[in-house]
Amino acid sequence: EAQVTQNPRYLITVTGKKLTVTCSQNMNHEYMSWYRQDPGLGLRQIYYSMNVEVTDKGDVPEGYKVSRKEKRNFPLILESPSPNQTSLYFCASSLSGTANTEAFFGQGTRLTVV
Amino acid sequence: GENVEQHPSTLSVQEGDSAVIKCTYSDSASNYFPWYKQELGKRPQLIIDIRSNVGEKKDQRIAVTLNKTAKHFSLHITETQPEDSAVYFCAASVNRLAFGKGNQVVVIP
């Protein structure tokens, strides 16, 4: 089944403890991206990648890191999480590297930083 | 970078009536304009999209129109049904996909 898979689905962590949220797609998509969703603020882009080894900042990159060493994986890293990073996170992928084709979303990761 | 704005933030309609959501974008180079529907507790899913070389596209009860001169595009839902109640996001793409803040649509039975 074609899909985007995020893990974990839910995570509660403490301030300052490094964490990684994984994202994997099995559709051979060029483009991958991370968004955070907060009430009233919509989907804000954190980072995106147009291809392997190519990553760029989105609208809210502060406090996050990403890597794209393989086409299928695009992990999101929080080196030192803070409470303001409590949010619902979505990974998405798209066939076209320029993001002008349908984006498929993962099931979301609900992160709470205390 | 691209800035996408949606209006209104909340829209209530009677079942059977039409709903229209309008979005504006800032980057004239944007060439792809999708609309996503997000039901409560679920991930966003594409419902319709339009490219910059097309002015209008229809798919059953939904349609999207694009005005490149004014840099705005709209989602039209006709004969609304309770299952149309959701948050709708517009987006624009020029090498990256930027989303608006979303519209809560409530269809009143």
Model confidence over A68-110: pLDDT tens digits?
999 999 999 999 999 999 999 999 999 988 888 999 999 999 9
Distance CA B97, CA A74 (A): 16
Gap from A104 CA to chain B (nearest CA, Å): 7
A94, B97: Cβ pair inside 8 Å? Answer: yes
Residue A99: per-residue pLDDT: 85
Gap from A95 CA to chain B (nearest CA, Å): 12
Residue type, B107: V
> Average pLDDT of B71-100?
95
- Judging contacts by C-beta atoms under 8 Å, the chain A residues touching residue B98 are 45, 59
Model confidence over B11-63: pLDDT tens digits?
999 999 999 999 999 999 999 999 999 999 999 999 999 999 989 999 999 99
pLDDT band at B9 (very low <50, low <70, confident <90, very high): confident
- Judging contacts by C-beta atoms under 8 Å, the chain A residues touching residue B32 are 99-101
Phi, psi angles (nearest 5°) of residue B24: -120, 150
Tell me if chain A has a CB within 8 Å of the CB of B40.
no
Distance CA A31, CA B58 (A): 27
> Which of B31, B36, B96 has its CB closest to that of A45?
B96
For residues B7 and A43, the model is more confident at A43
B32, A108: Cβ pair inside 8 Å? Answer: no
> Over 90: is that where the pLDDT of A31 sits?
yes
Residue B95: per-residue pLDDT: 87
